[in-house]
Chains A and B, each alone.
Chain A
Amino acid sequence: MTIIQVSNLQKSFGQLSVLKNITFDVKKNDVIAVIGPSGSGKSTMLRSIIHLEKVDNGSIRINEDDLVKNGIYPNDRKIKQITHKMGMVFQHFNLFPHLTVKENLEIAPLVVQSEKIEIVRKRSTEVLEKVGLSDKANVFPAKLSGGQKQRVAIARALMMNPDILLFDEPTSALDPELTGEVLKVMKILAQEHMTMIVVTHEMGFAKEVANRILFMDNGEIVESGSPEQLFSNPKNERTKSFLTKAYQ
């Protein structure tokens, strides 16, 4: 079942065209890794899906609703309703520094969804356990390591019960020894059949966890396919050259 349908997405910043006719589908339970050189438009594409960026033209359909159709957006309320079922994890975590870990998790369900506090409490306890941070519930983000912060950010996104999770280079700001703990949590989510789109430089993760790889360069999807096919037998020259460099 297709839950995201992206077609002919176009966007430019002034003269610079950052997205050129991006088209792809995401099916339920897909784990899609988006790879490619810096500045290839990966993040912009991802951010467009959750309306952190506006596109100039093209369409994005989510769960049979048009987030944007041929470059035309519906009203803010409708947009909010459509993006509501997606969660996002950022490169720089973007935790709320004035709230404890637990409060970071609970604020959106309480404030945005007006859920009952007992239900939210229960869920935050479970989610924290899932990311392995039960002992950090009452700590402020400033006291956490990068890996722990990113796990809290994932937990915060999970609190909203999303259908789709978007990850924008979730391990790029981390020290190498801390990426493992974050990738491990993401693997668990993949095993639980969470639909995920992950912009990443972690080729190992892409190969092992994703069921489909999109290789982007210069604002285009140059090649897409299964990890086996794309990593061992890339068809496009640009893909080959990128992968050679990535493994050097």
Chain B
Amino acid sequence: MSTDYLVNITIPMLEGAKITILLFLIAIAFSIPLGFFITLLSQSNNKVISGISKSYVYVMRGTPLLLQLLFICFGLPMIPVIGEYLVMDRFVAACLGFILNYAAYFSEIFRGGLLSIDKGQYEAAQVLGFSRSQTTIKIILPQMFRIALPAVSNESITLIKDTALLYAVAVPELLHFAQTAVNRDFTIVPFFIAGIIFLLLTLVLTAIFRWLEHKFKFE
């Protein structure tokens, strides 16, 4: 097996990895704020609003991501009357699916962070005269994000691997090119290369989150 061959099959896979990374970045950038918003809704005193938030999380966590992706890509366009307006670019559709799904997980992570904050923090803020929104922004949220960080890190690593699900909706990403090379050349080497690329991505992510956790250690 020549070096040329390795380079030849790796280049398209790296191209595919670009899609993987792009999807990852878009999903993270939108699902974290959306997840946080869902957390806030879940804390609402209004039963309808908190109910909507809970149902959303239940549905998104309770069904496979793959099913959700297939539904958005192929299911929505089949809906009578409005279906024709719901045809999206596959990549856009996939991004939407990932954002909606991961937002549910992130919202639960943030909710866990909120629950673990001692009620003494709220009382201290109250006697110092903080308003509700000042308490949330200055006292509660920074602590919530810090508590959530390890779980967010874990979820992000899951996300980068889940991007492989793009394969199922025929968006050419890393795994697609690996599979193509395997079929064409009858060799398992591309699978190893794909694995190594995923490991490298995970390594970078792990390092970033380690750094964040260290930076926000509050010690």
A positions within 8 Å CB-CB of B = 50-52, 80, 83-84, 86-88, 90, 92-98, 107-108, 111-113, 140, 142-143, 156-157, 160
Contacts and interface: CB of A to CB of B under 8 A. Distances in A.
Contacts of A95: 124
Contact of B138 (A52, A93, A111, A157): A111
B139 A96 contact: yes
How many B residues are at the interface, by size bracket? 20 to 34
B128 A156 contact: yes
A84 to B, nearest CB: 6
Contacts of B127: 50, 52, 83, 86-88, 157
A124 B120 CA distance: 23
Contacts of A94: 118, 120-121, 123-124
B218 to A, nearest CB: 5
Interface string B105-130: 00000000000001011011011111
Contacts of B129: 80, 84, 108, 112-113, 160
A53 to B, nearest CB: 10
A36 B120 CA distance: 23
Main secondary structure of the interface of A (DSSP, over half): loop
B120 A97 contact: no
A206 B101 CA distance: 59
Contacts of A142: 218-219
A80 B126 CA distance: 9
Given A90-B123, A112-B131, A160-B129, 14 more contacts: A51-B126, A83-B127, A93-B120, A94-B120, A94-B124, A96-B139, A97-B143, A98-B146, A98-B216, A112-B128, A112-B130, A113-B129, A140-B219, A142-B218
A130 B127 CA distance: 22
Nearest to A156: B128
Contacts of A107: 128, 138
Nearest to B219: A142
B138 A140 contact: no
Contacts of B126: 51-52
B8 interface: no
A243 B96 CA distance: 69
Main secondary structure of the interface of B (DSSP, over half): helix
22 contacts: A86-B127, A87-B127, A88-B127, A90-B124, A92-B120, A94-B118, A96-B124, A98-B142, A98-B143, A98-B216, A107-B128, A107-B138, A108-B128, A108-B130, A111-B134, A112-B128, A112-B129, A112-B134, A113-B129, A140-B218, A142-B218, A157-B128
A94 B123 CA distance: 8
Given A96-B139, A97-B143, A142-B218, A52 B130 contact: no
A108 B216 CA distance: 21
Interface in B135-152: 138-139, 142-143, 146
A140 B142 CA distance: 14
Contacts of A157: 127-128
A160 B127 CA distance: 10
A111 B219 contact: no
Contacts of A143: 219
Contacts of B219: 140, 142-143
A30 to B, nearest CB: 20
A233 to B, nearest CB: 36
A191 to B, nearest CB: 24
A94 B139 CA distance: 11
Nearest to A50: B127
Contact of B130 (A83, A88, A92, A111): A111
A98 B130 contact: no
Q: Which 10 A-B pairs have the closest CB atoms?
A: A94-B124, A94-B120, A108-B128, A112-B129, A88-B127, A98-B142, A140-B218, A142-B219, A98-B218, A98-B143
A156 B143 CA distance: 19
A51 to B, nearest CB: 8
Interface in B169-202: none
A83 B219 CA distance: 33
A83 B118 CA distance: 22
Nearest to A51: B126
